[in-house]
Amino acid sequence: RFEGVTMAPPDPILGVSEAFRSDTNELKLNLGVGAYRTEELQPYVLNVVKKAEKLMLERGENKEYLPIEGLAAFNKVTAELLLGADNPAIQQGRVSTVQGLSGTGSLRLAAAFIQRYFPDSKVLISSPTWGNHKNIFNDARVPWSEYRYFDPRTVGLDFEGMIADIKAAPDGSFVLLHGCAHNPTGIDPTPEQWEKIADVIQEKNHIPFFDVAYQGFASGSLDEDASSVRLFVKRGLELLVAQSYSKNLGLYAERIGAINVVCSSSDTAARVKSQLKRLARPMYSNPPVHGARVVANVVGDPNLFDEWKQEMELMAGRIKNVRQRLYENLSQKDKSGKDWSFVLKQIGMFSYTGLNKAQSDNMTDKWHIYMTKDGRISLAGLSLSKCEYLADAIIDSFHN
């Protein structure tokens, strides 16, 4: 009976928000979850989303079930946004796209696909990675192991280690790669390093599996942020790509994303799609329609699309501004001579500070700054006016 059920641990990221809510101190700051806030630290609904929703309301769209694979108009634009509309893989019908329950649900569907069709393969994930990756593969019963990624000495990429570990893995492994703005480190390979990674993956017959949760958010350019994925597609490799619109369109709670499988032929793509649908059906039957319509309207309309890009630049720009201010405050206030330039080298929503667990605890217990225990702070939850306070807290925590 249910008496035997034990208490599950809180989620290391989402649990931080719960702790934040119960803190009554006025200085408190939530830098845990990666969710964009305005300079006033309020949640933000994009204007293009409101416009698309207004259009949808005016059209009086119904609430009928979607097909298992999702909204056709969404699936079309999402693959085009990812790969570029003129990509030969799309034109040749080699991309099978299924709407998913945001990034997480799309990753989970892909994991179920791997478990069913490649039960002997494992997935290589970066060390560190987004905490939910391990949960997803564990629950899908897909074995995984880690490849080296972060080098604490340089606060940069351990490129040699990464290549060595990808080489050492059994042939035909899946290699999970963050398309851009690596979570939690904010450190991405350079274009030259991506080429080398692709070389090794090709040599080893591995299958690239991209997680793209921040397209447009890293550089401010949708195309630039997809260049890693496109480089692999250009080489003619078969690969998987999970997409999320949580961050770049601020559609967090709408749960809208997709899984794309780039195949060697249109025939294969059709069969893969049929199997993804077969896996989705007993899990959730079919996906929600609202977010899919919003994306289809924004990406599919030239005016809204342009406006979206401007809003995204605004969001990405605000994060870059606080990043710069935080760096300046840290450099000016810290008298120890520590080099803080890593803050500027990192990209995307986060800064991986190098604070250890005890130091992160000090941030929360003494300074009321909520963050994950791996030392990651979400700059998307920071304002220019709070940078100085945060710098004081970080310096205090580092040197104590």
Restricting to residues 21-60, name those near ligand PLP by CB under 6 A. Answer: 34
Distance CA 210, CA 103 (A): 11
- Binding string to ligand PLP for residues 182 to 221, with x set by CB under 6 A, is what? -x---------------------------x-x--------
Q: Does 15 bind ligand TYF (CB under 6 A)?
A: no
CB of 301 to ligand PLP, least distance (A): 23
Quick one: which of 29, 31, 33, 304 contacts ligand TYF (CB under 6 A)? 33
C-alpha to C-alpha distances, 193 to 138, 162, 174, 189, 257, nearest whole angstrom: 29, 10, 18, 5, 27
Q: Is 211 a catalytic residue?
A: yes
Query: CB of residue 183 vs ligand PLP: minimum separation in angstroms?
Result: 4
204 is catalytic: no
Which CA distances in Å does 161 have to 157, 168, 177, 286, 347?
A: 9, 10, 15, 41, 21
Our answer to whether residue 130 is catalytic in this structure is yes
Task: Work out whether 111 is an interface residue with ligand TYF (CB under 6 A).
Answer: no
* Contact flag: residue 70 with ligand TYF (CB under 6 A): no
Identify the active-site residue in 165, 188, 211, 225: 211
Task: Name the one range near ligand TYF by CB under 6 A: 7-15, 284-292, 357-365, 386-394.
Answer: 7-15
Q: Cβ of residue 92: shortest distance to ligand PLP, in angstroms? A: 28
Nearer to ligand PLP, 94 or 247 (CB): 247
- The nearest distance, CB 213 to ligand TYF, in angstroms, is 6
Q: Segment 146-185, which members bind ligand TYF (CB under 6 A)?
A: 183
**Does 362 interact with ligand PLP (rule: CB under 6 A)?**
no
Choice among 51, 158, 188, 247 that is catalytic: 247
Query: At closest approach, how far in Å is the CB of 372 from ligand TYF?
Result: 8
Select from 8-16, 158-166, 174-182, 362-370 the region that touches ligand TYF (CB under 6 A): 8-16
Q: Residue 87 or 372: which CB sits closer to ligand TYF?
A: 372
Among ligand TYF, ligand PLP, none, residue 178 binds (CB under 5-8 Å by kind):
ligand PLP
Which of 105, 398 has the CB closer to ligand PLP? 105
Q: Which does 102 bind (CB under 5 to 8 A by kind): ligand TYF, ligand PLP, none?
A: ligand PLP
37-46: long-range contacts, CB 8 A cutoff, minimum separation 24: 37/380, 37/381, 37/382, 37/383, 38/318, 39/318, 39/383, 39/384, 39/385, 40/383, 41/381, 41/383, 41/386, 44/250, 44/315, 45/250, 46/249, 46/250, 46/308, 46/311
Size of interface with ligand TYF, in residues (CB under 6 A)? 9
Q: Applying CB under 6 A, which residues contact ligand TYF?
A: 11, 13-14, 33-34, 104, 130, 132, 183
Active-site residues, by number, are: 130, 211, 247
